[in-house]
Structure 1
């Protein structure tokens, strides 16, 4: 669903919400059942949802970013045989508050979680190591506030579905890129989402099907 709201002058706001079922691969027993990314900049909101197959480990992944308060929230809820029950990361710029909650069960997915936040020269790193036999070797989140860049990288062990996940956000161009490359028997081969603010372009690319979607609004 696409909504366009006029603010003032020639400035328009897009609210976009659509399932990317045509961009997904067809393997069973997928990890992700839905992926939602929301970005609000003043009133600019954008949501991308990806629904996958049943028997998923992760039921939803939500990323919300608001630039005035610079709040980032990542929530992960999972189904039966939970590996992660929830992951929440909140960051506010002016108060510089950061909260991470990770209740995990046995045989957890994450072996290590690293979050780094730099505000000018202020850096914060949190590392959490969990159980053995984890598919995830490391999760790294880096945020620099001058360029407002966010990068999430996930490297996995053998027989993994995801080999890497990268999310990058730059403030002035407001570009968002998500790239997912995977190994054999992979769920996704490649997913790229790019958003730029001033041209207000949205690009979705799925390499397996060689499909793309681009929206420009001036």
Structure 2
């Protein structure tokens, strides 16, 4: 499947990148160009991109450009399934430009259709939240979904995010239409209380 491993390529990375995170079933690591085929395998599906705000990939080259972008950003992990070694999605922890508080971050993720219903999105997001609050010391992490994205809503609520409200006409969809953002957040104190309750 990884037909270009023998001619491995590298890209200049961001000055700072996130470390590799490991969960029971997943490895979250930075992308490299050898992930292009795996990314295209899930990103070409019309069920994956539009609910997350991007159009399905039409070619391997489009996926390669996306991977290049992830590499340069340095704030997006490849979600790798341990049992297969394949990249099945992505999860990012970006600067929250809607807030003025220092070190606020926002969570975003996409998961291949074949991996839905297995709890992978929740598992990956829990690891990223742990990193955000315990390692980076973020005061708050936010996340949004489009009103019709019920799968993402279930994940967000399961993670313990609290609703903030709806930011109307906040995003432009791939077809050019405007959509609302349903917004949630979690503070460091809320994370600590939830983590403490789980440990207890």
Length-normalised TM-score, structure 2: 0.29
In terms of Rg, which structure is larger?
A: 1
Greater relative contact order structure (CA < 8 Å, 6+ sep) = 2
Name the TM-score, length of structure 1 as normaliser.
0.28
